[in-house]
Amino acid sequence: MNKPWHLFLLISIALVSVAFMFRADQFYLHFDDTYYVLTYGLVFGAGAIFFVLPWLLYQLVHHWLYSARLSRIHIYGTVAMLLSIIGLMLWESAQQKVVTAPSMEVYNRWQTFFQVSVLSCTVAFLALQLLFVYHLLKGILRTNKS
């Protein structure tokens, strides 16, 4: 694949399709003694926007990027980390509805595992975004030297 950033657009189109399929289904988000009612269509639509923005960024700056290898690392890593975070969130939400822990100790271990996993994926995601900045700056400096 010569332009791997088109993967962001492909995922965005898929998320918009899913948003239309589940636009009326709702879920409740409990945060700080307040319930927020969200639709899956809204969440998937926001996710589509979240994926189309880096695609637009790559469309604008791909001439200045340093190497295709760093682009692939950034793109595939970003997609993997975002999908991991979303998967962990959905898994945690499903576990909350279905499973009751046999003891508070098991529940606390499960929550710790979930929090550490999400934190690890978030740190990896942020490191990948710093890689993109490095990748862009190195490409711009290379272009200016020649």
Two tokens, residue 55 = 């695609």
DSSP letter for 4, please.
Answer: T
Cβ contacts of residue 126 below 8 Å, gap of 6+?
Answer: none
Q: What is the pLDDT of residues 93-138, one digit of tens each?
A: 777 666 666 777 877 888 888 899 999 999 999 999 999 999 999 9
Residue 126 burial by Cβ neighbours in a 10 Å radius (0-12, 13-18, 19+)? exposed
Two tokens, residue 36 = 């927020």
Cβ contacts of residue 37 below 8 Å, gap of 6+?
Answer: 26, 27, 28, 29
Two tokens, residue 37 = 């009612």
> What's the pTM?
0.77
Q: Is the CB of residue 24 less than 8 Å from the CB of residue 39?
A: yes
Using pLDDT thresholds of 50, 70 and 90, give the confidence band for residue 75.
very high
For residues 74-86, give the mean pLDDT.
91
Question: What's the confidence (pLDDT) of residue 110?
Answer: 81
Q: What is the pLDDT of residues 11-66, one digit of tens each?
A: 999 999 988 887 777 877 777 778 888 888 888 888 899 899 999 999 999 889 88
Question: What's the confidence (pLDDT) of residue 138?
Answer: 93
